Structures are given as structure tokens and as C-alpha cells.
Amino acid sequence: MKCYKCENLGKKLFEFYICDACKKSLRLHQDETITKNAQNLCKEEPKQAYLLDIKKRILKLDEDYISKKIKLLHIKANLEGFDI
């Protein structure tokens, strides 16, 4: 499968196909960084607190994506009706 970001062949990562070069450019967090961020967020239950935070951020990201897509689809639909 083609990488979601370029023409290279990608490997599946979660729900997306991504090539090694594009994956490297994402600069995914190392395990140590994830652990440190969790511990900085909450001392008592770092894993649960960070998981909840990440889940909320993914939901917000999905909302933002849909809002932006609706805006672009609206422009596209209206533009197609224009005689310019």
C-alpha cells in the first residue's frame, strides 16, 4: 500500500500506511519520553491520566478534522455552482 503522505510503499501503522522516511519525519516519541510525560502529568496514576488525556486529544483532533473537512466541502460545493 502507498504511504499516506508520499508515493513510497508504506507499512501499516495503526490505521494508516506510512513509509519509513515519513515515519521518521513524524519524530514519534521514545518510550522514555512517553513515560516522562505521563509522570509529569500525574504522580499518582500516570498511565491512566495520560491515557485519558491522549484519548481526549484524539477525540478533539477528530472533531477538528471533521469541521475543517465540512468547511472545505461547503466551499467546493458552492464553487462548483459558480460561473466564474
Which residues of the chain form contacts with Zn ion (CB under 5 A)? Answer: 3, 5-6, 8, 19, 22
Give the burial class of 70: count Cβ atoms within 10 A of its Cβ; 0-12 exposed, 13-18 middle, 19 or more buried. exposed
By beta-carbon proximity to Zn ion, the closer residue of 6 and 66 is: 6
Residue ranges in 1-84 assigned as alpha helix (H) = 20-25, 31-41, 46-81
Tell the smallest beta-carbon distance from residue 20 to Zn ion (Å).
8
Q: What span, in angstroms and rounded, lies between the C-alpha atoms of 65 and 67? A: 6
Q: Find the shortest distance in angstroms from Cβ 4 to Zn ion.
A: 7
**Minimum CB distance to Zn ion smaller for 19 or for 38:** 19
State in angstroms the smallest separation of the CB of 25 from Zn ion: 8
Residue placing its CB nearer to Zn ion in the complex, 27 or 43: 27
The amino acid occupying position 7 is: E
